[in-house]
Structure 1
């Protein structure tokens, strides 16, 4: 007889006993229970819990209390004098007047800064026009900038035959000859007379006519060179602005020119440390305040406010550094920021506009509506007036220009080339013909040289590079990029978070597919990140581009947002399109490829790309933006440029024959200073402007205060 077995033995023998093999019941992710203690918390859900908003509320309350006390005092005084008291109108908008409560002009204590790659515009908000200071500083050095680098434009070694096609390479010769052929076809279609041997006439004249020497007593124009002390030890360590550009090449001691800003961002190629480039940038601002505004006593600066005009696609690290320097080092009472496109609409008085800022080394495009930039439309192209000047010089040298030793790195040659481009550059083919011109080369310690030379189509083909940017030289524009200045990264996942737009992604995609010289193959070791990253990125929206395939790649879609917490990629170039976006679209390039791309696109295509992303499916907004395209910046002064651009836009979008309109700023405003003028209007508003950042806010929150204070999505 078998004995009775226990239940545990039966489970073991029959295989019914449960064993734990550490396997999950399901592959679905497990959601943890909500912490009921914090479920109903109100942390940072009320305005009084945010320091920036609480300080604004306290400031308004103090202002109202002061106004109430003033009214009571005035009422009592009126009763004592037997004069009836008139109550103020409570409906008046305080921002309409520039007189504050103490009847002091608020704008007279506000300084407006608009830094650029070539010039700094600075002035008080009450000034009619700003002071213009070249954004350059000269420092003592063993060698000048022309001695440290090969001549610019860069020449190639010629063969024994010395053909001009070899001077700047086969690619440039092909591009130049193609543009010249298309230009002749364009002139014939406009019923213009075209001589078949115009280029040969120019080359023959320039080769045969030498320079004439003019003695000093016969030269009626004298250049005012910067005089240096006879004792080398007494020479200043640095010189800023116009005086730096007029230092003789063979001065004793020698000086080297530094440009802290290039292509709209800090110049990392000519500097060895981050502190040096930042120091020179703010040193130019400091000297401009002292010399141009007459505020030599730094103790007075604490009574002033500062407005900084920054690009639409800015770098957060640099903006945060500007805030720190203005509050801590300069000691300004308060600081605020405004974007360039918004400032342009403020200055022009436009409610809606597509702003095209044609600067010295960059061209910014953005659509603005009701005082706000449409984030998806922002574009930053890395070409400008400097590229036109360089191309104009190369074209003249290609046509055997008789001043063959022209070097844009020499100071007098740089100023001469800019003058020639401004004088002979045009976008009108009406008066294009073989014409004789005269120029004078004046260098310190040398006799004046007079050159008689001839030009044909160089004055129009050079600015035509805006529509054929492959003719520009893009090879060195990303040199040493991110070598010194780190990029901003997200506080939580460590991903780069500088602002990016779908329109800028389309520009980078176009550059990869159509402009080989815009793609850099040499990576640079990225700079060490800052210990305290900045804030979150600007979101991007997926949207199809309704442009022709030849103007917008292949109608690619914009990458969608991603929240993946992967480590930040190695950074070597243009702001990352993949900073906050990733895409499964196989037609788009990957993020690593875009790191080494210069954003280049024909100007008319870039404008239409910006408008398309800004309008989306809203046909009414698209028509409004097409009819309010505003050209600003120095290069917008090129004769007939807006007319030529308008014709190109209408040819690309024939379905809008009457809606497209390209115009300059109204009211005869100078397009070069329009952005600064808009900043002065913004800075002249009274203290009710909530974007001001004071010292208390900076001390407690640092750069994080920008999340609450700027008037756009930081």
Structure 2
């Protein structure tokens, strides 16, 4: 501990962060980087595999329904829009009229368009061809195949008279999302809505293989860590609170067996966020692309009954943006399909990030949208986007957001006969809840996925904090709300959360202050950075699992070493932070 008090933080990060890889998997993106980096590589969490099957859909999630399909859902959505538009005081909505009778907007002195001048550029289609290598080995290990495929995935492809063009076997990240639907590829998304995307069409084995391929490509192509060097590196898994015990166990197997790291430890996103922003007690609101999660942390320990999982995120805001523009007839006559053409989702996400904000009045702007048709060059269309403050309000009025219906994972998938949540470490460092079993805070049933709440963000935050118990702790949490995740960058969201949470608190509660604390870094990467800090400050590594132990013994009943992090690590880190 004397060393911790005397060492310069930058020196500590340099010494201990150079061989520590932090992996933060999400539904839409995976963030991977060395602990010594300021920010990680943020890569779309998808892979496109070449297929020779005629008629196979270009997206494996072909059963997902991205449209409102019932009359009641449509009515609920239009009612939610009218409510939101009224609250935002959009001037061209008649209070007595329905959604479809909105008056035509005008651009004049009273109706100034947005001043956002971000240049809109088209996304190029991915070149799916490569040069035929002169020779290929007859047999390769799966790891070497991944490395070879990563090398072949380089974008520089030439077509000389003597070289033979062939399809690339696998394409990763944003390049996979920019593949034309006419090309013979199937895009796989191994994680969806905060869980492994297991379905009758997508086996658990294939999900794991795709995760291995994507992560291995990032390690090779972005971090330049060869397979022969992996035994010199350790990994920190920062996992979403939505994951169940079996899913985390599979991730550990991927990291230790398939990616060949020497050791690994697991941290939850909520706890990592606390360390990423240097806090000790806060209500963490993590808003990702497909799910949002709320959990309260007291003195570095998550409170067991405060966790709320919400089934919406940034991707749903993008779809809501498209729905509103189409109903206003502001969207050009384009075949925009976020399911069949992921490149359209890239375009909508950029429009959302550039122009959507929460404030009163009409928010509109002139923008350029693009049509992407069957591999043809993108065609630009000028249009006027209106009501850009409505889509992000779907966070508070979930009926605005499109429900997704897709096959649930087989029930047997959640059966974990080696329950890794049993006999967790009991350590008492005094104060707070530090004497509880280490992962009571995230105990889940091994037979069922975690329950999702069908409420808005303000209600979820209020319910979570009021479940914390003591009034003094509740007051502290209401004044220490932390917004993280990509959606946290939405302009005007902080004031909207403060106002709506304050109104959601029952009048019988003696609480009159709600405050959202500013993030010390990009909210997208706070959880990843917290995982890096935890990994660097964990000198004892009592909770780390080594590769040979995992491969030989897996889970050892009665052992102190478990697959998740321990109170000991948290106490050690807080001792350093507070020293």
TM-score normalized by structure 2?
0.76
Give the match for residue 417 of structure 1: 348
Q: Is 1:708 paired with 2:564?
A: no
Counterpart Cα distance in 1 of 2:522 and 2:104: 37
Query: Structure 1 residue 426: deviation in Å?
Result: 1.6
**467-476 or 315-324, which deviates more:** 467-476
After superposition, the C-alpha distances for 1:228-269 in whole angstroms (9 at most, x for unaligned) are 137798423211112212223323xx1111000001110013
Query: Structure 1 residue 631: deviation in Å?
Result: 0.3
Give the match for residue 205 of structure 2: 275
Counterpart Cα distance in 1 of 2:233 and 2:501: 45
Counterpart Cα distance in 2 of 1:312 and 1:147: 25
Change (3 A) 1:221 1:708: closer
Change (3 A) 1:396 1:257: same
Give the match for residue 366 of structure 1: 295
Change (3 A) 1:481 1:94: farther
Give the match for residue 179 of structure 2: 247
Give the match for residue 185 of structure 1: 86
**638-647 or 141-150, which deviates more:** 141-150
After superposition, the C-alpha distances for 1:286-338 in whole angstroms (9 at most, x for unaligned) are 11111111012x12110111100012343111212222232233222221111
Give the match for residue 120 of structure 1: 30
Give the match for residue 407 of structure 1: 337
From 409, 426, 429, the equivalent of 2:360 is 429
Give the match for residue 354 of structure 1: 283
Choose 1 or 2 for highest CA Rg.
Answer: 1
Find the residue that maps to 2:48 and give its secondary structure: strand
Q: How does 1:671-690 map to 2 (within 5 A)?
A: 671-685=523-537, 687-690=539-542
Find the residue that maps to 1:485 and give its secondary structure: helix
Q: How does 1:611-626 map to 2 (within 5 A)?
A: 611-614=465-468, 616=469, 618-626=470-478
Counterpart Cα distance in 1 of 2:547 and 2:5: 24
Query: Structure 1 residue 407: deviation in Å?
Result: 0.6
From 497, 501, 512, the equivalent of 1:645 is 497
User: Any stretches of 5+ residues in structure 1 without a counterpart?
Assistant: 1-89, 156-167, 206-218, 490-531, 539-560, 562-567, 576-596
Find the residue that maps to 2:264 and give its secondary structure: strand
Counterpart Cα distance in 1 of 2:397 and 2:517: 22
Q: How does 1:542-561 map to 2 (within 5 A)?
A: none
Change (3 A) 1:639 1:382: same
Give the match for residue 482 of structure 1: 410
Counterpart Cα distance in 2 of 1:644 and 1:99: 37
Q: Is 1:175 paired with 2:27?
A: no
From 243, 251, 269, the equivalent of 1:314 is 243
Counterpart Cα distance in 1 of 2:59 and 2:489: 30
Change (3 A) 1:707 1:444: farther
Find the residue that maps to 1:684 and give its secondary structure: helix
Counterpart Cα distance in 2 of 1:284 and 1:426: 33
Alignment root-mean-square deviation, CA: 3.6
Counterpart Cα distance in 1 of 2:446 and 2:223: 43
User: Any stretches of 5+ residues in structure 2 without a counterpart?
Assistant: 107-119, 133-163, 425-439, 569-579
Give the match for residue 603 of structure 1: 457
Q: How does 1:331-342 map to 2 (within 5 A)?
A: 331-342=260-271
Query: Structure 1 residue 112: deviation in Å?
Result: 0.5
Question: Aligned residues, how many?
Answer: 495
Change (3 A) 1:443 1:423: farther
> Higher relative CO (CA 8 A, sep ≥ 6), structure 1 or 2?
2
**222-231 or 371-380, which deviates more:** 222-231
Give the match for residue 154 of structure 1: 67
After superposition, the C-alpha distances for 1:30-50 in whole angstroms (9 at most, x for unaligned) are xxxxxxxxxxxxxxxxxxxxx
Counterpart Cα distance in 1 of 2:6 and 2:550: 25
**304-313 or 343-352, which deviates more:** 304-313
TM-score normalized by structure 1?
0.63
> In the alignment, is the contact (CA less than 8 A) between 1:534 and 1:704 conserved in 2?
no
**124-133 or 221-230, which deviates more:** 221-230
Q: How does 1:420-569 map to 2 (within 5 A)?
A: 420-430=351-361, 432=362, 436-443=366-373, 445-457=375-387, 459-477=388-406, 479-482=407-410, 485-489=413-417, 532-536=418-422
> In the alignment, is the contact (CA less than 8 A) between 1:315 and 1:488 conserved in 2?
no
Give the match for residue 384 of structure 1: 313
Find the residue that maps to 2:487 and give its secondary structure: helix
Give the match for residue 263 of structure 1: 193
> In the alignment, is the contact (CA less than 8 A) between 1:135 and 1:259 conserved in 2?
yes
Q: Is 1:345 paired with 2:282?
A: no
Query: Structure 1 residue 658: deviation in Å?
Result: 4.5
> In the alignment, is the contact (CA less than 8 A) between 1:271 and 1:277 conserved in 2?
no
After superposition, the C-alpha distances for 1:39-71 in whole angstroms (9 at most, x for unaligned) are xxxxxxxxxxxxxxxxxxxxxxxxxxxxxxxxx
From 518, 529, 550, the equivalent of 1:698 is 550
Give the match for residue 396 of structure 1: 325
Counterpart Cα distance in 1 of 2:492 and 2:79: 22
Counterpart Cα distance in 1 of 2:240 and 2:128: 36
Find the residue that maps to 1:377 and give its secondary structure: coil
